[in-house]
Amino acid sequence: MSIRFYLWKKFYQLLFTIILIGIIVAFSASLHTSKADLFHSVLEQIKTFGHSFLHLNEMTIQIGIFSKQTPLWSYLVEPFTYSFIILSSSFICTFTLGILFSYVTYLLTPKMQRVVKEGLFLLQSIPDVIFIFAVQLFIIWLYKKTNILIVDPVAGLKKVYVLPILVVSILPGIMLFQMTFLAIEEESKKTYVEFAKAKGLSNGWILFKHILRNVVVTLFSHSHFLFWLLVSNLLIVEYLFNIHGFFHLLYTTLKTPDVFYVCLLTLFFPFFIIETIFNVVAIKLTGKEQSE
């Protein structure tokens, strides 16, 4: 597949997604109307979304009943930046720890590998909400017992980074480890690995020099799943940790559908661009789109 063809395909996907999100939000915002007026209400909402999308600089937002109208972009920048820092840091942390842990586990004995995989499978089976809530309770319990507060488990008006990044990263990191280790096991069965072992090269050298390079390219195909898992975890973390980030802002815009629509697009665009870049790199390296 050529990169030019792929970029055109992604452009049409982008247009389709923008329209589809608008239709879904417009339909949701029109559910309170009668069946006879539903179609007309949806069309009016879509027209409003189109006007808002073409005049982004004129959009305003009202936070609180007695607050004055504030330009949307001046209010949006701070919570979006805060959440994006947590999200991007969590992605880097997840990717680094997932690959590093896979590397270490591959060098263990088969018995120890089985113990590690079963332990992580048990940990991953815990629902996200319960796991994140348990982390909060553990920090509070540790503080009560030792009077040592490792990190603040509730943000409030303060900006905290360490704990949200770690909590958002853990479960996606386990998923990435499982995918990476499975890819390493499949790659290690190939002929070139057996040939390298026959030459007397160590498992660590073969893994670092040859296998991981091919595995990382394969992991690009799962980048969008990883991103959306991180986003869902961040949504839970912002609520449980009382973080005033992007999702907190998104909740306050539910009663203004056009602002809510623009905020959803603001969330969608960075991930779309990152996924496109990852697949362009994969096409350059392998000659095909990894999500195929």
Q: What is the pLDDT of residues 199-217, one digit of tens each?
A: 877 777 777 777 777 777 7
**pLDDT of res. 271:** 82
Task: Give the pTM.
Answer: 0.78
CA distances 171 to 124, 179, 218, 258, 282, Å, are: 6, 13, 20, 34, 25
- Residue 278 contacts residue 220 (beta carbons within 8 Å): yes
Residue 290 confidence (pLDDT) above 60: no
- Does the CA dihedral 188-283-16-272 come out positive or negative? positive
Residue the block writes with tokens 């815990």: 126
Q: Domain 3-286 carries which CATH code?
A: 1.10.3720.10
Which of 17-31, 45-59, 135-149: highest mean pLDDT?
17-31
Distance CA(139)–CA(143), nearest Å, equals 6
Q: What are phi and psi of 188, to 5 degrees?
A: -70, -15
The larger pLDDT score, comparing residue 255 to residue 283, is at 255
